[in-house]
Chains A and B, each alone.
Chain A
Amino acid sequence: MSIEVRNISKTFGSFKALDNVSLTVKAGELVALLGPSGSGKTTLLRIIAGLEQADPGSGEILLNDEDVADRHVSARGVGFVFQHYALFRHMSVFENVAFGLRVKRRRERPSKAFIRQKVHDLLKLVQLDGLAGRYPHQLSGGQRQRVALARALAVEPRVLLLDEPFGALDAKVRKELRSWLRRLHDELHITSVFVTHDQDEALEVADQVVVMNRGKIEQVGTPDEVFHQPATEFVMHFLGDVNTFHGRVNQGMVQFSELELPFPENRQQIVGDARVFVRPYDVTIDTKTNGLPALEAKVVRVHSAGPLVRVELLTKANQYLTSEISQERFATMNIRPESTVYVRPRHIRVFAGREG
């Protein structure tokens, strides 16, 4: 089932949480809403669920092309998974998962045997069979979140919405659980939207990533697109480390720090002041010049513990920048602090203006 959000705004007092946001999620997709806190991602998710009302008259929410703005959360058929699980503390795992089936109207309520079978199937699906009799406080954080997921799936929702589903877990469990969620989605193919502030989580799990900032959508795209072709400075900064230069654009070339480079993917016509961005792994280092345009820089520090070697550099123009090179390449170069090197940006992205 598809989700369509059209021109939704939401204000809390004087704070504009969502500013005329539109978004389409195709049926069967797994979409991440990514952004810093206060960007409006959770508000958007809660409005889709019906837990929050959009500003009156501001727009529409369509589930499968049907406007559900006036429909109460209990009638929207969405599954919602909360950051802090929101398990019913006084109910066992079984009772938690069965809740949604037991509160159905008598006419629609399945038989006891059916409920028992269904709950056990779901617990097997989330790999918790055998824990049906436990109470939430007897479970680990990861187990609780899987119960919450099973509980949301029990009512066979048309859409699954997850609010920072792994936010309260420690790093290791988090990683396990997110690849498990991806596999689960591939099995069930239920249209899902999850909120996260963790870029790795969004890039690893989602089909589409929606980057949000200050109540607006900055970019929608596949993980590859948002990472390699960021549409805005914000996306560039938010997804990974980046070196920033001030420069000027002149006839399709950008000048910055004694360098003049062409920039091919020039979507807007930029003239005059510009800002130039280079990812650390796109900064190559050589110990001598080889004719190509390069900046002379001095090595400040070397961090070699890790899959890549991080080299912190200071250019002649007194600007710091960071480069990431492979261990193999590092081994061939013999660089140490105070060495003089020549750095060359491999891929640059240029945005107009002085300040971001």
Chain B
Amino acid sequence: MAGSIALRTKRASAYRPIASTGESLLTRTILITIALATLALFLVLPLVLIFTEALKQGLGAYFAAFTTPDARSAIRLTLITALIAVPLNTVFGVAAAWAIARFEFKGKSILITLIDLPFTVSPVIAGLLFVILFGTRGWLGPWLQEHDIRIIFAVPGIIIATLFVTFPFVARELIPLMQAQGSEEELAALTLGASGFQTFWRVTLPNIKWGLIYGIILTNARAMGEFGAVSVVSGHIRGQTNTMPLHIEVLYNDYQTSASFAVASLLAFLAVLTLVVKSIVEWKNARSHAQAAREAEQGDHQ
């Protein structure tokens, strides 16, 4: 069971609205109104509020919120975390997708379940897992203390927790994509004398490019925005172990609402950017599908 939302190739829906099976204008209007009202209330309004609150005290105050030492430190830590977690999880995602989508082996469904685990486990429990392993009273705690290594309440813990929470996204985007594409093109490349690496680089990668890009962007957004798991392992040490979401929490609880929303607006912008990339990718996919269909049809007529 996937908790991720894979890219969809938008089909021209087979559904044709016709009188015999359509709803009355009144029903249609009511349903559209409910749908739009729900989305406005739950999604659009909060988004508008974030930017409104962030700019409430003027542009000066808005930019000042990013230049405090605590804010700078939080932004730096978030960037470092993402810089480590995103490439590692990308490599993992590609490797896992290659193994799962291109080969048959026993225990495949167990492997997929394991990859989906972070979707079903509470982020707080994800944090708990690492506290039990590395915390002062955890399994490795005494040994780590002896060697003066800090993981929990320090940067390594934050990075590990982020890795855990975000590792499925790339794999989850790529697996259905690669399964749908099949391996014929890769086998053709091999018969033409390409090496395994050349095949991957010249055949596989161009085919999964857009799905991969979306997976990476999504991993990045989630890595920068993770709150629950990071809360547990961070220890909230200002200027040291606070990421951007934790900094938002600190500011908010200190009644520095505008500053808090200013930092939040950066993450909200990142989220909107992620959606834009997703739309572009889906649009590109739909276009290439439509083109392929057109070419196939023309081929038929010749």
Interface residues, chain A, with chain B CB atoms under 8 Å away: 50-53, 72-73
Contact = CB atoms under 8 A, between A and B. Distances in A.
12 contacts: A50-B20, A51-B18, A51-B20, A51-B21, A52-B18, A52-B19, A52-B20, A53-B18, A53-B19, A72-B19, A72-B20, A73-B20
A73 B18 CA distance: 11
B29 to A, nearest CB: 20
B68 to A, nearest CB: 60
A50 B21 CA distance: 10
Contacts of A51: 18, 20-21
Nearest to B18: A52
B61 to A, nearest CB: 56
Given A52-B19, A72-B19, A72-B20, 6 more contacts: A51-B18, A51-B21, A52-B18, A52-B20, A53-B18, A53-B19
Size category of the B interface is under 10
Interface of B: 18-21
The 3 closest A-B pairs by CB, nearest first: A73-B20, A51-B20, A53-B19
Contacts of B21: 51
Interface of A is mostly: loop
A51 B19 CA distance: 7
A51 B21 CA distance: 8
B19 to A, nearest CB: 5
Contacts of A73: 20
A52 B20 CA distance: 7
Contacts of A53: 18-19
A72 B21 CA distance: 9
Contacts of B19: 52-53, 72
A173 B239 CA distance: 79
Contacts of A50: 20
A325 to B, nearest CB: 37
Nearest to A12: B16
Contacts of A72: 19-20
Nearest to A73: B20
A50 B19 CA distance: 9
A123 to B, nearest CB: 27
Nearest to A51: B20
A53 B18 CA distance: 8
B224 to A, nearest CB: 44
Which of B18, B19, B20, B21: most chain A Cβ within 10 A?
A: B20
Nearest to A74: B20
A126 B16 CA distance: 32
A88 to B, nearest CB: 14
A353 B257 CA distance: 87
Contacts of B18: 51-53
A40 to B, nearest CB: 17
Contacts of B20: 50-52, 72-73
B22 to A, nearest CB: 11
Contacts of A52: 18-20
A317 B238 CA distance: 101
A176 B13 CA distance: 36
A72 B20 CA distance: 7
A50 B18 CA distance: 10
A75 B20 CA distance: 11
Nearest to A53: B19
A259 B115 CA distance: 82
A12 to B, nearest CB: 10
A72 to B, nearest CB: 7
A52 B19 CA distance: 7
A51 B17 CA distance: 11
Nearest to A46: B20
B14 to A, nearest CB: 12
B105 to A, nearest CB: 30
A53 B19 CA distance: 7
Nearest to A72: B20
A73 B20 CA distance: 6
A52 B17 CA distance: 10
A279 B21 CA distance: 46
